[in-house]
Amino acid sequence: MGKKDRHTPRTAFVTLRDLPGTRVMFWLVGDCPYCGAQHLHPAGNLRSADPADTLGEHPASCDPQRRYVLTLPPRPARKRGKEARRKERRSGRISDLDE
């Protein structure tokens, strides 16, 4: 790891959780990019706060001098529809017959 890499914040993917029996929400970092453990960061109140406002750069719980960026995990690619799969199969058959 170079000198530049030590000071740039790493990305930490989070999930939104709520504390059972309360109105408190928090972001759960599943795998810390520095130590691999789970960490919690407050996200606000269930009724009044927008949890997306608390995403961004935060100090790591394992080492406050290191920072990471809390972000949502990327969404999986959307599956193609049934018609698109049929069209692809048909185009494959036609090209095989032409050759």
d(CA 40, CA 22): 16
The candidate with the shortest Cα–Cα distance to 35, out of 16, 58, 12, 55, is 12
Amino acid at 32: C
What pLDDT does 46 receive? Answer: 79
DSSP state, residue 9: P
Percent of the chain at pLDDT above 90? 9
Looking at the DSSP bridge assignments, the partners of residue 59 are 67
Q: What's the average model confidence in pLDDT over 47-66?
A: 85
For the cut 80, the answer to whether the pLDDT of residue 18 exceeds it is: yes
- Model's pTM, two decimal places? 0.65
Tokens of 26: 């928090």
**Cα 39 versus chain centre, distance:** 14
Which residues lie below 8 Å from residue 81, measured CB to CB, with a gap of 6+? none
For the cut 80, the answer to whether the pLDDT of residue 66 exceeds it is: yes
